[in-house]
Amino acid sequence: MLVVTWNVNSLKAREAFLAEFLDRVRPDVFALQELKLEDAAVPVSMFTQRGYEVVFTGQKAYNGVLLGSRTPITDVHRGFPGDGGDARLIAGTTNGVRFVCVYCPQGQSATSPKFVFKLDFYEQLRAWVAAQDLASPIVLLGDMNIAPGPEDIWDPFGMDGETGYHPLEHDEWRKLMALGLHDAVRPHVPAGTYSYWDYRAGSFHKGQGMRIDHVLVTAPLVGRVTSAWIDRNERKKKGDLAPSDHAPVGVVLRD
DNA sequence: ATGGTTGGCCTCCAA
């Protein structure tokens, strides 16, 4: 089973780009973040034409998350009490696995009120995750806006204390992992493998990226992860189609 | 070059 997470930065702007990816890579399950669309505007037929069932929670202009699968998705859950009504979390069960797609706040800067909001969101997320059956197969995946370690960011010394690589965020990351989650990607990609590059200042060209998009799995799934990848080619233009500022992250789970 | 860019929106906000 190939599982993919991707922050598409507007599903509307990325529809054709994503369709090409789905046709070629054919993931079994995928999680998208930053739809930037209301529910009514989600291009459902683009997915169903390709054999996917999709569930989503959208929002005008910001946020919005989606789960897609080739097999039916059941027990769909949207949001959690502390998310302020933002469309940042959707959970559903497919292929015998519970998938939780999340889009964590970016936080702006470490001195911004948005950073407080970000830390609070992690706390709420952790409480929500802790209430799940963590002895069962769960995949928590999405844009978590944290680079966990120095191998996950282009300038760990210069970026220390910046949003995405802040000690308080690393505390949150550790607490989340301590619940019994495991990074499914880290063991399979070399240091310096990133999933996000800012559009500005030629960051992609200069290799100034961060690994902030993650696939975390509970113990029953750890032994089923056979490979993982982050495809930086998807951060490049595709003909005249513009890329997201994030690349897709893939994990293969053995049956 | 003292920032840069993209997407969606109601002329600025979030990333």
- Active-site residue A231, yes or no? no
Q: Which residues touch strand B (CB under 7 A)?
A: A 9-10, 12-13, 34, 36, 60-62, 105-108, 114, 199-201, 242, 245
Q: Closest residue to B7 by CA to C1' distance? A: A10
**pLDDT number for residue A245:** 98
**pLDDT number for residue A85:** 87
Q: A162 pairs with which residues across the strands?
A: A165
Which residues lie closer than 8 Å to A251 by C-beta, 6 or more apart?
A2, A3, A4, A139, A141, A184, A185, A215, A217, A225, A227, A228
Prediction pTM value = 0.98
Which residues lie closer than 8 Å to A112 by C-beta, 6 or more apart?
none
Nucleotide closest to residue A114 (CA–C1'): B14
Helices (H) and strands (E) in chain A, counts: 6, 14
**pLDDT number for residue A198:** 97
Nucleotides of B under 7 A from a protein CB: 3-10, 14-15
- Going by the DSSP 8-state scheme, the letter that residue A8 receives in this structure is -
**Tokens standing for residue A226:** 């056979």
C1’ B10 / CA A60, Å: 14
**Phi-psi region at A136: left, alpha or beta (left = phi > 0; alpha = psi -120 to 50):** beta
Element (H, E) at A243: none
User: Among A52, A83, A103, A245, which one carries the catalytic annotation?
Assistant: A103
Distances (CA, A) of A109 to A26, A106, A115, A118, A145: 37, 9, 6, 10, 12
Nucleotide closest to residue A86 (CA–C1'): B14
Nucleotide closest to residue A37 (CA–C1'): B8
Mean pLDDT of successive 10-residue stretches along chain A, which has 255 residues: 98 98 98 97 98 97 97 97 92 98 96 95 97 98 98 97 97 98 98 97 96 98 98 96 97 96
Q: Closest residue to B6 by CA to C1' distance? A: A199
CA distance A126 to A121: 8
- Active-site residue A62, yes or no? no
User: Among A83, A143, A152, A213, which one carries the catalytic annotation?
Assistant: A143
* Terminal alpha carbon distance of chain A: 7
Which of A212, A211, A8, A181 has the alpha carbon at shortest distance from A98?
A181
**pLDDT number for residue A224:** 98
Q: Give the orientation angle of helix A113-130 with respect to helix A167-178, to 10 degrees.
A: 10
**pLDDT number for residue A84:** 85
C1’ B7 / CA A72, Å: 32
C1’ B4 / CA A245, Å: 14
Which residues lie closer than 8 Å to A116 by C-beta, 6 or more apart?
none
